[in-house]
Amino acid sequence: MLRRKEKTNLKGWQDFLREEDGMGTVEIILIIVVLIGLVIIFKKQLRALVEKVFEKITKDSNTVMS
């Protein structure tokens, strides 16, 4: 019984390793390009958001440390 389960698990693993339906290099590069474009477009808004978050973290950490 245990042997049959082990063989089934190994067969599933081998099928997974042979599968070629994953993302290719071109898709990954396109995703990275889109993300970089979004960062460039929304640079000011992102910077303001990050500064606001860090100010709140600093303020809250000073409250806890006092």
Give the residue with greater pLDDT, 16 vs 1.
16
Number of helical (H) and strand (E) elements in the chain, helices listed first: 3, 0
- Average pLDDT, integer, range 1-7: 54
Say how far apart CA 23 and CA 21 lie, in whole Å.
7
**pLDDT higher at 29 or 12:** 29
Who wins on pLDDT, 19 or 1?
19
- Grouping H, G, I as helix, E, B as strand and the rest as coil, residue 7 is helix
What is the DSSP code (8-state) at residue 42? T
Q: What is the pLDDT of residues 21-44, one digit of tens each?
A: 666 888 889 999 999 999 999 999
State the average pLDDT over residues 42-56: 95
